[in-house]
Amino acid sequence: MKLYNKFEKNFINKGFIINKSENPKSTRYLSNFLKKRLVRLLNLKINFKNLNLNQLHLYVKSNELNKIRLKLISQINKDLKFRRNYFLVAKNMIHHIVGNELAMQININLSIQFPNDESSLLPIHSDTWSGDSPFESVLWLPMVNCYRTKSMFILEAKKMDYFNKTFSKKSIKSVDDLYSKFKKNLKFIKINYGEFLLFNQNLPHGNLINRTNETRVSLNCRFKGLFTPYMQKDLGSFFSPLKLRAATKLGLDYKLPG
Ligand SMILES: [Fe+2]
């Protein structure tokens, strides 16, 4: 019996999987939700379908971006359909890679990166450095086509041993130093709207200043096996159960007679 299928092998060896949305209707729901709310928040006199997210920097001032982003995040996370559709975009792949008894991050995140904006940078990091458990995977959904600095970068999985060795030698002076040491091993993800990226957040990743002339809009959310170990980001406060199997429910509910 084979231990891993081709998706799992790919995920282990490469660190990420890019595929077409398993449910284009769900991807469209997410995109339309964002566009509708943006048109309302920004008081735009256009049909939401005509809002081009690539051009969002033409409608919002840089100093108002974070306020708008936070409002959108709060609206996203009040909508249960958004959460459901988010999962449906990659449900089968999440089952392959993460499992079928799942916990999902309670809050879905939204990133908006204007061209040349220096305020929304995420320097090279691994999520496990800030309280995430190594059992988590990130589902990253682009709402526009992403490439080069408009996208995120990730360290090639095969370089992880070298990365750890370099790190443990303590020859790293700063995050910038870390970035420049591994620059040639970082891969910028090329991904289009309508596709999903599932990645191993144990691999160092981040972004740079978006030097393209388009805005990046993307969503991200973590998934993990419900019964895998938790670090600081707990079940209840950071994750919520998404799917339990019947036998697990029976087991959890069971009381010995007497
Ligand atoms: Fe991260």
Distance 207 CA to ligand 1 centre (A): 10
Whole-number Å distance, alpha carbon 255 to ligand 1 midpoint, is: 41
CA of residue 125 to ligand 1 center, whole Å: 6
Per-residue pLDDT tens for 207-232?
A: 999 999 999 999 999 999 999 999 99
Q: Give the pLDDT band of residue 170 (cuts 50, 70, 90).
A: low
Distance CA 35, CA 47 (A): 9
pLDDT tops 90 at residue 111: yes
Map tokens 């988010």 to a residue.
Answer: 86
Give yes or no for a contact between 70 and 120, defined as CB atoms under 8 angstroms apart.
no
φ, ψ (nearest 5 deg) of residue 143: -95, 0
203 alpha carbon – ligand 1 mean position (Å): 9
All structural domains of the chain with their residue ranges? 6-231+240-253
Q: Does position 96 have pLDDT exceeding 90, yes or no?
A: yes
Beta strands in 226-257 (DSSP E): 239-243
Sorted by sequence, the CB contacts under 8 Å of residue 64 that are 6+ apart come out as: none
Averaged over 28-50, what is the pLDDT?
97
Average pLDDT estimate for 145-156: 96
pLDDT reading at 73 higher than 80: yes
3-state class (DSSP) for residue 228: coil
Centre of ligand 1 to C-alpha 224, Å, is 15
Q: What is the CA(133)–ligand 1 centre distance, in A?
A: 12
> What CATH code would you report for 6-231+240-253?
2.60.120.620
% the chain with pLDDT above 90? 88
15 CA → ligand 1 middle, Å:
13
The residue written with tokens 């388009």 in the block is 214
pTM of the model: 0.96
Model confidence at 120, pLDDT cuts 50, 70, 90, reads: confident
At residue 121, the pLDDT reads: 87
User: How many angstroms does the Cα of residue 206 sit away from the middle of ligand 1?
Assistant: 6
- Could you give the CA distance from residue 106 to residue 238 in angstroms, rounded to a whole number? 6
